[in-house]
Amino acid sequence: MAAIDLTSFSAAILDTDGVVTDTARVHAAAWKHVFDTFLHGRSEPFDIRDDYLRHVDGRPRFDGIRTFLASRGLSLPEDGPPGTASVRSLAAEKDALFTAHLRRHGVAAYPGSVALLRELRRRGARIAAVSVSRHCRQVLTAAAVAHLFDEVVDGRDAGRIGLPGRPDPALLLEAARRLGVPPERTVVVENTLPGLEAARRGGFGLVIDVDRDGTRATPSGPDRGLAMADLVVSDLDEVSVTGRVPATTR
């Protein structure tokens, strides 16, 4: 079993969607609906296992739209009159679909992730949640896990203080700064390729990839996610915690 040794690390930063909560698939489905509507008559439908993972997953909404459209040789203006397609209008459509799903169906946290969070806290680690989504706090509250985090850094924070999107490590480094723990003593748990690259570029001490469907564990995966992570697991119930953070370093 993989292990986090809290004699070597004092904090953990976890991505929210797909790591803590079962919302990555909701984001993906919303993007597919928006892109398929826009692509009709222009290009092939949006593929969740390829297009979403390569171009959208883990990126801020506007960046994901630009990156995906560029992969199809398409582009849109940033903004435009009502009723016309633009980067902003596609982002707004996706946002409306995602929030409507939250209102109707709520959100669940992965039991393995909740158990790991509780054990990390019990042993003295400080913990932050990160997300490029503006709905991170709403999602954590709906999943009844907000109390397990000392800090949250999300898309609203990134926009307010001007943090660049992943794979730039700025979001993760801001979370570590708020936790008061240097990156080399911080564990990062991610499930997107931009997130894994950001963790590696940020100099974090241990990078764990939660690859729930095994996409990056095969040669045909969309990228070499294995090369960017120290550990790859299918669920956080595969990760144990050893040691304890000394009170003087909390």
pLDDT tens, residue by residue, 85-125: 999 999 999 999 999 998 899 899 999 999 999 999 999 99
Q: Rounded to whole angstroms, how far apart are CA atoms 17 and 190? A: 9
Q: Rounded to whole angstroms, how far apart are CA atoms 93 and 31? A: 9
Q: How many CB atoms lie within 10 A of CB 218?
A: 9
Positive/negative CA dihedral, 147, 148, 153, 156: negative
Q: Rounded to whole angstroms, how far apart are CA atoms 79 and 25? A: 27
Residues 40 and 81 in one domain: yes
pLDDT digit string, tens, across residues 160-205: 999 998 999 999 999 999 999 999 999 999 999 999 999 999 999 9
Q: Which residues are catalytic?
A: 15, 17
Q: Rounded to whole angstroms, how far apart are CA atoms 95 and 199? A: 26
Task: Supply the pLDDT for residue 83.
Answer: 85
* Residue finishing a domain among 68, 88, 105: 105
* Residue finishing a domain among 38, 70, 105: 105
Q: Which pTM value belongs to this model? A: 0.85
Q: Return the CATH number at 143.
A: 3.40.50.1000
Residues 160 and 62 in one domain: no
Residues 81 and 18 in one domain: no
pLDDT digit string, tens, across residues 35-56: 999 999 999 999 998 999 889 9
Provide the domain count of the chain: 2
Q: Rounded to whole angstroms, how far apart are CA atoms 154 and 237? A: 25
Residues 160 and 90 in one domain: no
State the residue range of the domain holding 195. Answer: 2-23+107-249
Residues 50 and 173 in one domain: no
Residues 159 and 68 in one domain: no
CA nearest neighbour of 19 among 101, 152, 117 = 117
